[in-house]
Amino acid sequence: MSIGKTLRGLTAGIGVLGYVTLFLLLQVRVAPVSALAGIAALATAALAVAGGRPAVRQLLGRGSSSQEDTPEWWLARLEPAVEDAWNTYADLVLTVGLCAVSVGSFGALVAYPGDDPPFGLAIVGFLAMVCGLISLGFLIDSRAE
């Protein structure tokens, strides 16, 4: 595999990891707006590196010529946007990243200084762990080919 394909796969994985993390954090509302904005900026930059302007336009819902082909949900538009750049390295980044998000969520829950920790951290931890395990299955399957 060439260095260019490797880098595109790594940045595609970072982009998807960023958007999935952003989605999870938006759902449970446990992160400050500045952290959400930083994650969104990093994920968008990684998506632009992995797929260029067409990938970003597709994520925004402006990539295809017909609106019938474009999914309504913004996270569903992410997979077609990175499809050309996706490879084993992207699976690896996604798996390790989701496991790190899970461990970080549980660590923040345990180390919470107050008496009533946010329950959203547990939800993010469990969802990231399950998604990481699913991603691990895809990583193992791609290595077998």
Give the max Cα distance, the chain.
53
Q: Which domain holds residue 80?
A: 3-144
d(CA 17, CA 94): 6
What is the distance between the alpha carbons of residues 105 and 101, in angstroms, rounded to a whole number? 6
Domain count across the chain: 1
Mapped onto helix, strand or coil, the DSSP state of residue 94 is helix
pLDDT tens for residues 36-58?
Answer: 999 999 999 999 999 999 999 98
**Strand runs labelled E in 21-112:** none
Residue given tokens 């009533």 in the structure block: 116
State pTM to two decimals. Answer: 0.87
Judge contact between 8 and 30, C-beta under 8 A: no
Give pLDDT tens digits for 73-113: 888 889 889 999 999 999 999 999 999 999 999 999 999 99
